[in-house]
Chain A
Amino acid sequence: MSLEDKYLITVGLEVHTELRTKTKLFCGCANEFGAEPNTNICPVCLGLPGSLPVVNRRAVEYAMRIGTALNCEIKHSVFHRKNYFYPDMPKDYQVTQYDEPTCVNGYVELPITGKIVNIVRAHIEEDTGKSTHIGTSGRITGADYSLVDYNRSGIPLVEIVSAPDMVSGEEAREYVSELRSILVATGATDGKMEEGSLRVDANVSVRPVGTEVLGTRCEIKNLNSLRSLVRAITYEARRQMEIVEEGGKVIQETRHWNEDLGKTSSLRSKEEAYDYRYFPEPDLSPLDPTAEEVEAIKAGLGTLPPKRRAILVELLDGTPTKSEIEQIQTAINFGLDELVLAGIDRKIPAKLSLARCANEVAGLISNLGDSYILPNEKILEVLAKESAGELTPTQSKVVLSRVVADGDVEVTALISELGFVAASSGEMDQLVEEIIAESPSEWERFVSGEDQLAGFFVGKAMKKSGGKANGKLVSKSLNDRRSQLQG
């Protein structure tokens, strides 16, 4: 019996997401990624003596959007100060929310398993600056010196805290993936993990199968991708199982994930944990959204991923396969579900357009910039041709890749440029006539009913056209000619 069979894993996640406001949470400095260090700064986000914060109303609105999209209650909320010393935190306290957060008691339904993961709270807080530690360690301990960029200081964040409802790294990945698509759909964040606008901390514990009380948890920091998330949780759970199995005790601590080593290591134990001395931020008033404001947020949200998924599931006759569910998820994450819906109007089967969108188009657009506009019309044109049998699946994928990369090309011209001859009927007729002429006896036998010879002719057509013929259309043409003769 493996260790993994003897223990249950419990995972709860804290997800920090940067809000896509134009300006920072408490001042008018630009909220942008990648500017020259220490250029988007002012007395307020540098915490200069005498400066005071003023709340960005748009950030509050975005936080309420997120809360609403996560099925939370939107409540009266209070900003608190979280006090601790660190060079990238200019006031040496962080303005956050503590016992009265803006959003509480929501949930996310996982798309594949249908499992409910509860959301304890989602609260607003300011980001810190960004430290770079120069030296071999890459950490503050042992660094030769450290550089601090305060551009990020004061950027608005929403921290979303889940209940410890997940049981594996894979489930955590499914949760973050679904959470991400909901967050992006609200327009409040771009959800880019690689730019740090979505950051995850994982709380992990294990307990023997058959027991109820949760084991001692460790919090893992520095999970910058879905891959790291799964690997770190899997590693950490295994580490804890081995400790318990050997009769040891897991120590409650914060641990750092090292992607290169594939290991977690201790950052600080519970004894070393900070006493944050939270107290209400006296420089800010509580937030008190009215019922009308909350309603307006709800009304402005549009259709969110769970509902969009339900629509696609219905198009697939309500019984999608596991891989189709994954395709749906990908399509929604990339906003391609609208394309699938538009295809229905043109009689393109949902199965086909969904598969092409999730497996081909999504992969292609991840390489394109934010401002790139997908040539939806042309994609639909290609899918329609494939659906009508004018393009083989292989041909369709080739054409799609060219169309997505360059939205200006003409689809028909592209197809003939690629030499997908079988697509045009004139060339098709000529090809079929040639192969019939070359094999008169086989043709006789086919006409007299030896259906299996169709494969022989298709093979010949393929060979003759250098693989560019459309097999389906060749056999259709052969059948048509035979019917006419028999007619």
Chain B
Amino acid sequence: MKLTTLMASAALALGFAGGAIADGHEKTKVGFVYVGPVGDGGWTYEHDKGRQAVEAEFGDKVETVFVENVAEGPDSERVMTQMALDGADLIFTTSFGYMDPTNNVAAKFPDVKFEHATGYKRLHPNVSTYSARFYEGRAIQGHIAGNMTKSNIIGYIGSFPIPEVIRGINSAYIHASKVNPDVEFKVIWVYTWFDPAKEADAAKVLIEQGADVVLQHTDSTAPQAAAQEAGNVVTFGQASDMGQYAPFPRVSSIIDDWAPYYIARTRAVMDGTWEQKDTWDGIGPGMVGIGEISDAVPADVKAEALALKDALADGSYHAFTGPLNKQDGSPWLADGETADDGTLAGMNFYVEGIEGEIPQ
């Protein structure tokens, strides 16, 4: 009881501080909670680039703070509380596992705005969620991969069998098999987002099984290095450009670009126009970027890939457009029908043509 009262009074004090911000007297304080180190070269690195963009955009009108390597669970709850107590006006929590902690802390600090990446729980009016439609990037990858493979075997390093990752596999497969009906996907689940040793092992196994294209849904550059060693294997950068492996084996990449969103949300807090929302943006608004397609890709394939990107960006084409069947052959989308966000968000099935089972 006592703690709640103290929290409430602390929050109240912050509320007054918030008033000062509106007058332009004080800096807006934006906190970031990271699950990995800022130097991971992937997921957290890109979030931190977003933070730096916020600083560059608003200069001394804003103060940003961050804590890296924060474990999901009670540690993240403590770090968020601490940021709120220290006077943060807006806090971005950048890992799926921060979902319940974010909502718990948000309940105690109604005047602080919370933004949770990749989650779906918005239990309080001061919690928003945001994520990116990475599957749009996967469509382009699939298109290039289907054209580039000679062995017709494409390897895929899956992190966890969750909707996010399954969407990516489906999207890549649909577009690879469109240009190359003989293509076959081999998926290895490594049950980690970031573990260079495991990722390298997975890449090597896939290459030994004949894959000459390796797609990854993990964040380290280890698969790139394994492909480089093998010599004739194509890869794509994940989360970050991984440009150090261009032009080959890395022929393109999916880049998370959080900067526009972070700047927009910070501005909304400054203007007092921040409202709860659920954002799921793709290539169009710039949240998903496609890294430069290198010259290792034939010019006509590159042109097609760029056209596909434009079509995805302006909304004239959806990555999941029928006719599509589920793996078991049952119909999913009729000719010309596109998938709704609800189905995509909870996707737990492969599309027809992919072999193997999703581990349960």
Asked if A and B are interacting partners, one says no
Chain A residues with a Cβ under 8 A of chain B:
none
